[in-house]
């Protein structure tokens, strides 16, 4: 899988498989199966032509290649994806001086500093370098 840089947050709508029952049942009682559509949000950490890996939790985002850690990785087969949409931060409100690095993932350093200092930053359009 190709490594992706942190910065883009995605909403992925995808179809999942599921088990209908846990025991023996009569074939004549089978109901019509339904699609199970899932919605997952995360940063694209790795991607290739068959799969995409997203993670919702990342630490040490300023040094992602050498020290960053993640939790909650989800690998979705691309054949299961119905829709993939990049999300952007348009407004962040944090208690003044209380914003932590994990609350501000994906924002550039100057925006993170402004939010930490003032508690509010609207219309975030920059990209983390």
Among 39, 47, 61, which residue's Cα sits nearest to residue 2? 47
The answer to whether residue 15 scores a pLDDT higher than 90 is yes
Averaged pLDDT, 29-42: 90
One domain for residues 82 and 92 = no
One domain for residues 6 and 65 = yes
One domain for residues 38 and 71 = yes
CA angle in degrees (0–180, nearest 5) for 3-113-126: 50
Q: How confident is the model at residue 59 (pLDDT cuts 50, 70, 90)?
A: confident
pTM for the whole thing?
A: 0.59
Q: Which of the given ranges, 7-21, 35-49, 66-80, 103-117, has the highest pLDDT on average? A: 35-49
Question: According to the model, what pLDDT value does residue 18 have?
Answer: 87
Question: According to the model, what pLDDT value does residue 71 have?
Answer: 86
One domain for residues 22 and 32 = yes
Number of domains forming the structure of the chain: 2
C-alpha–C-alpha distance, residues 24 and 3, integer Å: 44
One domain for residues 67 and 23 = yes
- Please, how many CA atoms are within 13 Å of residue 88, restricted to the half-sphere of its CB? 7
Q: How confident is the model at residue 69 (pLDDT cuts 50, 70, 90)?
A: confident
Q: What's the domain range around 77?
A: 2-87
One domain for residues 109 and 72 = no
Q: How confident is the model at residue 14 (pLDDT cuts 50, 70, 90)?
A: very high
- Per the CB < 8 A criterion, the answer to whether 95 and 84 are in contact is no
């Amino acid at each position: 899988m190709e490594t992706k840089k942190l910065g883009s947050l995605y909403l992925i709508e995808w179809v999942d498989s599921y088990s209908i029952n846990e025991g023996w049942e009569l074939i004549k009682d089978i109901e019509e199966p339904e699609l199970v559509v899932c919605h997952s949000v995360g940063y694209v950490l790795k991607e290739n032509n068959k799969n995409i890996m997203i993670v919702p939790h990342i630490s040490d985002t300023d040094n992602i290649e050498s020290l960053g850690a993640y939790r909650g990785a989800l690998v979705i087969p691309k054949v299961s994806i119905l829709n993939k949409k990049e999300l952007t931060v348009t407004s962040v409100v944090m208690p003044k001086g209380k914003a932590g690095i994990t609350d501000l993932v994906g924002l550039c350093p100057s925006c993170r500093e402004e939010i930490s200092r003032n508690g509010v930053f609207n219309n975030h359009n920059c990209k983390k370098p």
